[in-house]
Amino acid sequence: MHRIVVTGGAGFIGSNFVRYALGAYPDVHIVNVDKLTYAGNLDNLKDLDPARHTFVHADIANAEAMAKAMDGCDAVVNFAADSHVDRSIMEASDFIATNVKGVHNILEAAKKLGTKRVLLVSTDEVYGSIAKGSFKETDPVGPRNPYSASKAGGELLGLSYFHTFGVPVTITRGSNTYGPYQYPEKVLPLFVTNAIDGEPLPLYGDGKNVRDWLFVEDHCRGIDHALRHGAPGEIYNIAGENERENIVLTTKILQETGRDESLIKPVTDRPGHDRRYSIDASKLRALGWEPRMNWDDGIALTIRWYRDNEWWWRKIKSGEFREYYKRQYGQRG
C-alpha cells in the first residue's frame, strides 16, 4: 500500500493516524481529504512532511473531489464524520449529510474506481448500551442517539456495497478514544483543560456511566491492522479493555492536575445517555493486534500534552467553542 486516502485527517484520530502511518511505513504517501469543520484543524498537521502528505480541502459528499482524490490510490480510510453525541442531539442534519451520505459517496467512488481497500472507521456506540458482558461483532446493532444511528447507517451502506457490488469494505468499531489533539468538547480533554483552568467539570447524571478508554495510538494501530490483515466484508472491534465509570475518570483527572473534588459539578443528564459501552476485541487480537498503553501512563501522557500545548487548545476554546459551551451547558444547571 503506497498511496492511501485518509478522510477527516485534520481531526483527532485522523491526524494521529496520518502521523502513525507516515512513521510506520517509509514508502507511504497520504492524501488527506478534510472539510475543516469546527473540529478540523490544520494545527494538527503542522509537523508533517509535505513531500509525503497532500492536504485536500474538500467535503467527502463532493463526488468530483472524492473521485479525483481516490483515483490511483490503493486504499481509502474514512475518519470524516460529525462525531459528538451532544451536538447530534442539538441538531442532527450534518451527521446524516456526512456520516451517511458522505460515506455513500465514498462507496460510489470506490465502486467506479475499483479501489482495492475501503476501511470505514466506526464506533462501539453502534451496539448501544450493555449492562453485563461485551458485544461481539456478530451482535446486532442498536444505536440510541442520532450520532450512533448515523454511524450505523454508514456501516450498513458499506456492508451493502460489499455484498451487492463487491466493494472491499472493512469496518472497525473503536471504543472511546483519548490522547493528544482531541477537540475539547469530548469529556476527557474538556475536563483536563477545565481542571487546568480551575473551572467546573460538568458531570452528567450520577457519573456512573461506563466508557472503555482506548489510547489513540492503539486505536490507529488497530485500524491499520484491520486494513492490512483484516478481510473485506468483516467488522473488527477495537477495545481499550479499560472500562471506567465517568466519576472515576473525573477523579483521576483532578488528582493528576492537582485539583480537588470541589470542581465536580453534577449537571442534568444527557437525553438517552447510554449507560455502559463494552466490546470484545478477540477477533482483532487473533490477527495479532493488542492495546499497548496502560491507563496510568496514557492519562499522564495526555495531561502532560495538554499542559505543554496550551497554544493548541486555548485558541479553540476562545473561538466558536464559547458559543457552543453556553448553548450546551447553560441550561444544564
Question: Which residues have a catalytic role annotated?
Answer: 124-125, 147
Please tell me whether residue 202 binds ligand TYD under the rule CB under 6 A.
yes
The count of residues interacting with ligand TYD (CB under 6 A) is 14
Identify what 187 binds: ligand TYD, ligand NAD, none; CB under 5 to 8 Å per kind: ligand TYD
Among 211, 221, 259, 317, binds ligand TYD (CB under 6 A): 211
Q: How far is the CB of 199 from ligand TYD (least distance, A)?
A: 12
Please tell me whether residue 59 binds ligand NAD under the rule CB under 6 A.
yes
Residue with cell 498511496: 3
Please tell me whether residue 141 binds ligand NAD under the rule CB under 6 A.
no
Please tell me whether residue 152 binds ligand TYD under the rule CB under 6 A.
no
Identify what 190 binds: ligand TYD, ligand NAD, none; CB under 5 to 8 Å per kind: ligand TYD
3-state DSSP: the chain helix, strand, coil percent, rounded to 5?
Answer: 45, 15, 40
Cα distances (angstroms) measured from residue 213 to each of 15, 173, 242, 314: 19, 13, 5, 24
Reduced to 3 states, what is the DSSP secondary structure of residue 97?
Answer: helix
Helix (H) or strand (E) holding 6: strand 3-7
Among 32, 98, 105, 237, binds ligand NAD (CB under 6 A): 98
Span near ligand NAD by CB under 6 A; candidates 18-26, 34-42, 259-267, 313-321: 34-42
Find, among 106, 83, 105, the residue nearest to 94 by Cα.
83
Give residues with Cβ within 8 angstroms of 170, minimum separation 6. 117, 118, 119, 120, 226, 227, 230, 231, 232, 233, 234, 235, 236
Question: In terms of CB distance, is 121 or 195 closer to ligand NAD?
Answer: 121
Residue with cell 450520577: 206
Please tell me whether residue 85 binds ligand TYD under the rule CB under 6 A.
yes
Question: In terms of CB distance, is 50 or 330 closer to ligand TYD?
Answer: 330
In DSSP notation, 218-262 reads HHHHHHHHHHHHS-TT-EEEE----EEEHHHHHHHHHHHTT--GG
Among 65, 80, 110, 227, binds ligand NAD (CB under 6 A): 80
Please tell me whether residue 317 binds ligand TYD under the rule CB under 6 A.
no
Q: Which residues bind ligand NAD (CB under 6 A)?
A: 7-8, 10-14, 33-37, 39-40, 59-61, 79-83, 98, 102, 121, 123, 151, 174, 176-177, 183
